Amino acid sequence: MAAPTPVGPPDRGASSVERRARPSTLDAPRSTLTPKARKRVLAALLFAASSVPALYLGWQFWRAWNYLPSDLGKDPVKGLEHATGETAIRFLVLTLAVTPLRQLTGWNWLAPFRRQLGLWMAFYATTHLATFYALDLEGNLGEVATEIVKRPYITVGFVAWLLLLPLVLTSTTASIRRLGGKRWNRLHQLTYVVVGLGMLHYFWSQKKDVTDPLLFAAVFAALFAWRGWRAWQKRGGAVVPTR
């Protein structure tokens, strides 16, 4: 049997060590993306995916505004209010799910995206409030104040939104350095209060079918139970598995 033909002429001027150190032309190509570049690509993909609900709801409302069939129901304003509020809760679930998923899988690269998900949650919550103010009450500040005082579920929802503001304003790395890790963590424990108030607002706003609020409440309960268990482990209740 004939010997295989070499890919190119041998380099007789190089030592055997140098020839072995040179990369082969048959080696599989490697990714040229640096970790920083990969993070940027993932952040861009997450941004695109997170903006899809906003674009879809905007398109549906435009259709309803022009008397075309839409998915917002017979009352498009109420439909938009409900959809933006529920989307905010979904993003709140995703935000709180990042830490358990990272701890279970060891995917520490997920950590930076929790902030991005939290900001999207605040965006949809603000859109929910803006829809109520600008479209439902037609920008009447006096009526807004009356509704907040008169209807407990609106009061609770408005307080939850107010508590979001310091969380959004201190979501930067510079804020963590300025406040210090411990104070920043204590401040961002307001997230749990926001969850409780937000779910109460959601539950009270559903006059008949409370299936969805109960399902979301079960998910939040599971996420909180995981955090409680991890905290108990760290205090010496059990050995925390490392990854």
Q: Give me the phi and psi of 242, to 5 degrees please.
A: -105, 150
Query: Could you tell me the sign of the dihedral formed by the alpha carbons of 230, 231, 237, 238, in that order?
Result: positive
Place of tokens 């009450």: 137
Best CA proximity match to 196, nearest among 159, 170, 227 = 159
- As a whole number of angstroms, the distance between CA 50 and CA 44 comes to 10
3-state secondary structure of 124: helix
What average pLDDT does the segment 204-222 reach? 91
Question: Taking the CB of residue 212, how many other CB atoms lie within 10 A of it?
Answer: 14
Element (H, E) at 122: helix 111-131
pLDDT tens-digit profile of 87-104? 999 999 999 999 999 999
Mean pLDDT for the chain overall: 85
- For residue 198, give every residue at least 6 positions away whose Cβ sits within 8 Å of its Cβ, in sequence order, or none: 88, 89, 92, 125, 157, 160
- pLDDT, residue 22, reads 54
- As a whole number of angstroms, the distance between CA 113 and CA 110 comes to 6
- As a whole number of angstroms, the distance between CA 149 and CA 110 comes to 40
Kindly report the pTM of this predicted structure. 0.82
pLDDT tens-digit profile of 152-164? 999 999 999 999 9
Residue 6 reports pLDDT greater than 50: no
What average pLDDT does the segment 64-86 reach? 94
- As a whole number of angstroms, the distance between CA 164 and CA 119 comes to 10
Query: Could you tell me the sign of the dihedral formed by the alpha carbons of 35, 37, 41, 47, in that order?
Result: positive
The DSSP call for residue 178 is H
What average pLDDT does the segment 51-72 reach? 95
For residues 97-133, one letter each, b for 16 or more C-beta atoms within 10 angstroms of the residue's C-beta and e for the rest, the string is bbbbebbeeeeeebeebbebbbebbbbbbbbbbebbb
